[in-house]
Amino acid sequence: MIVLHYTGMRGAADALDRLCDPSAEVSAHYMIGVCGTLWQLVAEDQRAWHAGAGAWQGASDVNSRSIGIELVNTGAQPFPEPQFSALEQVLRAVMARWSIPAHRVIAHSDMAPERKEDPGPRFDWARLARQGLALWPEGSGADVALDQSLDTIGYPPADALKRLQAFRYRFRPTGQGAESEADRRRADCIARAVRQLC
């Protein structure tokens, strides 16, 4: 799978210092700057320390099963066009080399909802999906139990509110407040799409 992150740091230099510091025990395969500059930090066939504790679709040790891509962003900024275009190019190439399907491109918050929120609600998943680079089915499904749908999509067990928020970051970024019928219907739509793909 591919896990998308933001660096949460002010700029590329600070992020590179941290990602290349062995004592920090954090790394990624790629980092993309705001102007679209691409750095490869770890070979694709090597394990990087980008995901940490978490799981996706029942698979733990996500670091050993994924390629990590860091986007230079504090989390409070939009993702600029040059950066997003570079990400699309990297995704196409990596997905082709490793036969990674679109539904296996995930957010860091997807696999670690109790710890992470990146790449956050400003990230344009629908744009990636229009190019076959991520999952973003349109529409809504039935009003069924949210937990059931989130389990099917692949979210790991977690605090219910944090799991809801991770789902919203990814699939319903305008959602707020308590769980709603709109959340349940959107989650059922995603779960149905996942069942068809798996």
Catalytic site positions: 70
d(CA 53, CA 103): 20
Distances, alpha carbon 198 to alpha carbons 2, 91, 146, in Å: 16, 20, 20
